[in-house]
């Protein structure tokens, strides 16, 4: 004959009320929101304007505009060009831009013959 031992086990877990109390007593751990603007774009434009750096602005359709940035605002930049009309370019139409002298360095060093 085998003896069966019946053990009444109680599940140990917190009640719903205890969980609610813990949630209300803990301060929320939220990261602070990142700054809305880092001003990096403004710093870049001002630097290029002050040094009158020749720039290449590539538009969304692939067209390249070469010139010097004269001024900028929230939605556009003005590019002065030599022997061509100055242009006002809307920022949403700009794909990217770079310094004109950086293009020569990358193309000269990038091709191996």
90 is written with which tokens? Answer: 């809307």
Instruction: Output the CA angle 87-91-95, nearest 5 degrees.
Output: 100
Task: For the domain covering 40-110, report its CATH number.
Answer: 2.30.30.100
Categorize the per-residue pLDDT at 104 as very low, low, confident or very high, splitting at 50, 70 and 90: low
CA atoms within 13 Å, Cβ hemisphere of 29:
2
What are the boundaries of each domain within the chain? 40-110
Categorize the per-residue pLDDT at 105 as very low, low, confident or very high, splitting at 50, 70 and 90: low
pTM confidence score: 0.60
Condensed to tens digits (0 to 9), the pLDDT of residues 40-84 reads 999 999 999 999 999 999 999 999 999 999 999 999 999 999 999
Provide the percentage of residues in the chain whose pLDDT is more than 90.
52
């Amino acid at each position: 004959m085998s003896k069966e031992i019946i053990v009444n086990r109680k599940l140990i877990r917190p009640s719903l009320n205890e969980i609610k109390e813990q949630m209300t007593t803990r301060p929320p751990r939220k990261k602070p929101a990142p700054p809305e603007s880092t001003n990096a774009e403004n710093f870049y434009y001002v630097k290029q304007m002050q040094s009158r750096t020749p720039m290449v602005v590539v538009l969304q359709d692939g067209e390249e505009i070469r010139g010097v940035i004269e001024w900028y605002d929230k939605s556009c930049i003005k590019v002065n060009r030599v022997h061509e009309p100055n242009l006002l370019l809307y920022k949403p139409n700009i794909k990217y831009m770079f310094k004109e002298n950086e293009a020569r360095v990358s193309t000269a060093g990038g091709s191996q013959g």
